[in-house]
Amino acid sequence: MTVERPLHIACIMDGNGRWAASRDLPRTAGHTAGEENLAEIVRLAVDRDVGWLTVFGFSTENWVRPRSEVRHILGLHEKLFGRIQELNELDVRIQWIGRPFDSPSARTPRYVQRAIRKAINDTAGNTGMVLTVAFDYGGRAELMSAVRAVRAAGEPVTPESIDKHLYLPELPPVDVMVRTSGEQRVSNFLLWQGAGAKIHFSDAAWPDFDADDLDRAIALAR
């Protein structure tokens, strides 16, 4: 079925570490290459009139990784949210999805919080593609948060009330979920929003995910 509203592509950016290992490089080099490729995919998605691009940057489960690797990934996310000039030139509006900063379980460092807030504010006037970065995010955590909020509001638990209390209620349903590096699972990513999505599994590690792969994913919905 053809999607009439703006297309929503969601990407599980997997395989950075394996990409690095296959080249005898440290895992951090793979994450750096992945961040650089994300910038390229954003440009490609804009060229293809994708309305919403949501990427899984860092999950609630990723905090158990080695501390040095986590620090490197945090630095890359600070850099990602700092690409304000390029995002504005592309007319891309950036937003973030994850455990609220004031939540007792949230773990996003303050310097990353500042970068996120600044990116959101500095691109708020853009009217093109919406780039949503999932950081300190887990689909189960989001659903539990929504149900708690529904009950606290004294509302019945229905699909409509859960929709209203998700982290980003304005995030549309996912049309195509992308998973790279040969893995065939959705890994706790946008469980509610992606319930009816088609899935494009790519054998390419995320740093090698390219225009042809993106076009194959888009073709599933158009």
Q: Please indicate whether residue 122 is annotated as part of the active site.
A: no
Q: Please indicate whether residue 212 is annotated as part of the active site.
A: no
Q: Using N-to-C axis directions, what is the helix angle for 67-81 and 110-122, rounded to 10°?
A: 20
Q: What are phi and psi of 152, to 5 degrees?
A: -65, -30
Cα(26)–Cα(17) distance, integer angstroms = 8
Spatial CA neighbour of 8 closest among 178, 181, 180, 210: 178
The rounded Cα 199 to chain-centroid distance in angstroms is: 15
| Catalytic pick among 49, 62, 136, 175 | 62
Q: How many CB atoms lie under 10 A from the CB of residue 211?
A: 14
| Residues noted as catalytic | 14, 62
